């Protein structure tokens, strides 16, 4: 995502703060700078936020790298991951017992946190579901894999 190969319209979310352009999902690209250095959910109304990437075709995903919002003390501290081939039927990334995994997020604005998935995903759409955050739900991320 960081290098721009994934087009802006392929990065979408359940919401973004006050529907302002400075908080849109494409602002979630890793290491993005400037005002609103990260996607920010509309935290006043969206209690179950998510952000997703549609790769258009099937890709292999092995992990994620996350960051907080670069210009404010907002970051996701924990999240879950789902994936889909069609945008209708979703599957959680789970542990060996079938329990959805809660992945560790960030502890500050800029430190990169790399998370390896327990198995390589073959999917078209990857969705991140923040489950806890510091101040406001905001993040930047990169997808690790082959696409």
Per-residue pLDDT, 125: 98
8 Å CB contact between 106 and 66: yes
Residue 147 pLDDT > 80: no
Residue 63 pLDDT > 80: yes
- Looking at 14-18, 20-24, 94-98, 112-116, which range is the least confident one? 20-24
Is pTM, for the whole model, over 0.85? yes
> What gap in Å lies between CA 61 and CA 19, rounded to an integer?
30
Per-residue pLDDT, 139: 98
For the segment 70-123, what is each residue's pLDDT rounded down to a tens digit?
Answer: 999 999 999 999 999 999 999 999 999 999 999 999 999 999 999 999 999 999
Domains in the chain: ranges and CATH: 8-146 (2.60.120.260)
| Confidence band of 146 (pLDDT split at 50, 70, 90) | confident
């Amino acid at each position: 995502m960081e290098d721009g190969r994934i087009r802006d319209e392929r990065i979408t979310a359940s919401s973004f703060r006050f529907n302002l352009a400075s908080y849109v999902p494409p602002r979630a690209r890793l290491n993005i700078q400037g005002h609103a250095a990260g996607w920010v959910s509309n935290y006043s109304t969206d209690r179950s936020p998510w952000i997703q990437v549609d790769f258009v075709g099937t890709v292999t995903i092995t992990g994620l790298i996350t960051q907080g919002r670069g210009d404010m003390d907002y970051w996701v501290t924990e999240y879950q991951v789902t994936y889909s081939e069609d945008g209708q039927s979703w599957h959680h990334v789970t542990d060996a017992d079938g329990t959805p995994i809660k992945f560790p997020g960030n502890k500050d604005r800029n430190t990169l946190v790399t998370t390896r998935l327990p198995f390589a995903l073959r999917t078209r759409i990857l969705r991140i579901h923040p489950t806890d955050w510091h101040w406001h739900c905001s993040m930047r991320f990169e997808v690790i894999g082959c696409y």
